[in-house]
Chains A and B, each alone.
Chain A
Amino acid sequence: MLIQNDSLLDNDFQLANKQRMELSSNNKHIPYIKRVWSGFISNKWAVASFVVILLIVLFALFAPIFSPYSSTGVRPDETNLSPRIPLLEKIGIFNGYSDAVSTRYHYFGTDNLGRDIWVRCATGTRLSLYIACLAMLIDLLIGVIYGMISGYYGGRVDLAMQRITEVLSIVPTIIVVTLLLVVLKPGLSSIIVAMILTGWINMSRIIRAQVLKIKEQEFVMAAYTIGESTVTIILKEILPNLIGPIITTFMFSIPSAIFLEAFLAFIGLGVPEPYASLGSMINDGFSSAMSYPFMIFFPIILLVLLMLSFNLFADGLRDAIDPEINEK
């Protein structure tokens, strides 16, 4: 029979031995993304933490929009109000018991300047996440470039670059960050700069170790043999294989960046006043923690939830991306 056109249908062919085919379907190739996805889905803690992160992000984005209050709106007549939530107040909790001079609903209460804590929590979370994500993204960029160059070229370049990071990594992070902030004065950009300065070393180390492993493999050798340029090899052969470690490192660095920001705010080097971050809110509420616990309770819960779920999420993601580590 002549083939009339190039398109062949599935039923043009018949299996010579159907049984053998069924046996081999056990070893069917599963695409990378699908494998990672199914590994991730099966980890209920990771999925739950992902949902929590999503909820917190939604809260941070939309709570201020649907609230009549603003994060910076000072109201001297509504200071230190306890939390009051409609419906819940009827069963005796969150009823604004302390000094209910106001008939308005502040879900998380108000702080010592009469600012609504619900809205401030949302904008604070936003700022904390923004600082952490931006700083870590830039860190990632620097770390990946540095690590790839160091790992790929090897030899003297690697030696020199590794000596630099070795020396820099002995300089304690908190010292660099505090000194920088003392000189630059705390502000959004100076905090981000301080985080970038200290965070990229770890990234570059992980990336370098991965590149060293990958570049020995056959497909890189093959690309080299057929005359691909260095740039093509790095971008097309090595970089795609780094996606897994890059994502997990990024995810693990987010909670530590959130923590660093909170830490800086707690020692008085946080974002300056009209801004609110989770750390600066905790710092503000700390002195009155025993008399107005609600002021510090909600930012703390948000901070801990964020860090916990990012850690669990990163854990799950790493196990899904690199199942070998799980065996450890």
Chain B
Amino acid sequence: MEVIHMIRYIGKRTILSLITLFIILFILFLMLNFMPGSPFNDTKMSHEQLKILYHEYGLDRPLAERFLIYVKQMLTGNLGVSYSLQTNATVTNMISHTLPISVQIGLQASVVGSLIGIVLGFVAALRKNSFFDSMATGISILGVSVPSFVLALCFSYIFSYKYNLFPLLYSSSEAFRSTILPTLSLCFFTLASIARYSRSEMIEVMEKDYIRLADAKGITRFQLVCRHIIRNAMIPIITVLAPLTVDLMAGSLVIEKAFSIPGMGSLYINAIQANDYNVVIGISFIYSLMFIGTMFFVDLLYGLIDPRIRIAKRGK
């Protein structure tokens, strides 16, 4: 029984992700089609010549057929070529050069942010209404309110410009040292949201009857916190991790611009400003893939860890 429900749950999530993927592909396809201007805007070409060109590029076929061809191309990694940034360089190639550094900073920021955030939230919950608690609350409100580019500016002004501790802009000779400040400024939002969320989650769990029971059994406080409270409070925290990856993506655009990191975010911004449609669409597709993947993974993890999710779905 249990296995069947698990399979159904996974199947449902997969279908949902696939539908979303198709919607995104459809939006991108529409953009490509309704973008102002066409590659054949040359007025010298005769009607017949245009017809031949359209036929050669398959533009005279029905929209649905073109969409299918397009989907096939996108899914096999053929994202087209760049028009203006690096003429005729394939978008796939450009992305594969810039993606690793973005992923590295993103992962660093999410690991640092969520670890510190969870610790901060848990300690604040355990010492509720203490000085530490109000400090943690202060940090989490500041972290949600101060945009990452402001932090980036402050950090680079203090640590790079005044005290010369870290490189002001990214340099490949000091690759890791240059990622420290970007990571710090990027992780702050994640840190703040997770601290806030884990604090309230923790306090909610601590008031549950089973915690009171465990306490009454006479186990040590350490055991109570580790075995019962943290384990139960961790489950819902996983769900906020997925939406936070979107904020990380958005943040990475800003941070990469602020520190001139040659990552995918910088490429995206440059492509937007240069109207390099294929690059914009290609990166949008990669971003969406990454996000859909994270959402799918987190949903799955959540279902695996917390059997109540599956049971609730069955009840409906």
Q: Select one of A167, A179, A300, A308 contacting B280, CB under 8 A.
A: A179
Instruction: Please determine whether A328 and B204 come into contact, CB atoms closer than 8 angstroms.
Output: yes
Chain A residues whose CB sits within 8 angstroms of the CB of B273 once the complex forms = 268
Within 8 A of B (CB), among A275-324: 282, 286, 289-290, 293, 296, 300, 303-304, 307-308, 311-312, 315
- Taking CB atoms and an 8 Å cut-off, the chain B residues in 206-225 that contact chain A are none
Query: Of A179, A269, A286, A296, which contacts B31 at CB under 8 A?
Result: A179
Contacts A183-B31, A263-B147, A328-B204 given; indicate if A171 touches B20 (C-beta within 8 A).
Answer: yes
Q: What is the CA–CA distance of A179 and B28 in the complex, to the nearest angstrom?
A: 8
Task: Give the nearest-CB partner of B199 in chain A.
Answer: A328
CB of A222 closer than 8 Å to a CB of B: no
Please report the number of residue pairs spanning A and B whose Cβ atoms sit closer than 8 angstroms.
108
A171–B249 touching, CB < 8 Å: no
Task: Determine if A69 is an interface residue (Cβ-Cβ < 8 Å).
Answer: no
**Do the beta carbons of B153 and A300 come within 8 Å of each other?**
yes
Q: How far is the CA of A262 from the CA of B153 in the complex (A)?
A: 15
Q: Is B150 an interface residue (CB 8 A)?
A: yes
* Given A167-B16, A170-B17, A171-B288: A289 in contact with B153 (beta carbons within 8 A): yes
Contact (A172, B161) CB under 8 Å given A179-B27, A262-B147, A289-B153 = no
For B34, the chain A residues whose CB sits under 8 A away are 183
Interface string of B162-194 (1 = CB under 8 A from A): 000000000000000000000000000000000
Interface presence of B203 (CB below 8 A): yes
Given A171-B288, A328-B200, verify A304-B153 contact (CB < 8 Å): no
Report the separation of the CA atoms of residues A267 and B283 in the bound assembly, to the nearest whole angstrom.
15
Cα A173 to Cα B247 in complex, Å, equals 9
Q: Given the known A-B contacts A167-B19, A183-B35, are A172 and B246 also in contact in the complex, defined by CB atoms under 8 Å? A: yes
Contact between chains at A267 and B253 (CB < 8 Å): yes
With a cutoff of 8 Å between Cβ atoms, the chain B residues found around residue A178 in the complex are 268, 272, 280, 284
Residue B142 CB within 8 A of the other chain: yes
Taking the closest CB of chain B, its distance from the CB of A33, in whole angstroms, is: 27
B23→A167 contact, CB < 8 A:
yes
Chain B residues in 8 Å Cβ range of A171: 20, 23-24, 27, 288
Q: Which residues of B contact A146 (CB under 8 A)?
A: none
Q: A219 to nearest B CB, angstroms?
A: 27
Cβ distance B300 to chain A, nearest Cβ, rounded Å: 14
A89 contacts partner chain B, Cβ-Cβ < 8 Å: no
Q: Which of chain A's residues have a CB closer than 8 A to the CB of B27? A: 171, 176, 179
Known contacts A167-B16, A266-B149, A328-B203; decide if A312 and B254 are in contact (CB<8 Å). Answer: no
Known: A170-B17, A175-B287, A179-B280. A267 touches B257 (CB 8 A): yes
A287 shortest CB reach to chain B, Å: 11
Contact B146 A307 (CB under 8 A): yes
Residue from A183, A259, A267, A293 within 8 A of B147 (CB atoms): A259
A255 near B: Cβ within 8 Å? yes
In the complex, besides A183-B35, A255-B145, A259-B147, 13 extra interface pairs with C-beta distance below 8 angstroms are: A170-B20, A170-B292, A174-B249, A178-B284, A179-B284, A182-B272, A183-B34, A263-B250, A266-B149, A267-B257, A307-B147, A311-B144, A328-B204
Q: Please, could you name 27 A-B residue pairs with CB atoms under 8 Å apart, sorted by A?
A: A168-B23, A170-B20, A170-B292, A170-B295, A171-B23, A171-B24, A171-B27, A171-B288, A172-B249, A172-B287, A174-B250, A175-B24, A175-B288, A178-B280, A179-B28, A182-B272, A183-B31, A266-B149, A268-B269, A286-B258, A303-B150, A307-B144, A307-B146, A308-B146, A311-B144, A315-B141, A328-B203
Interface residues of B (CB under 8 A from A): 16-17, 19-20, 23-24, 27-28, 31, 34-35, 141-142, 144-147, 149-150, 153, 157, 161, 200, 203-204, 246, 249-250, 253-254, 257-258, 268-269, 272-273, 275, 277, 280-281, 284, 287-288, 291-292, 295
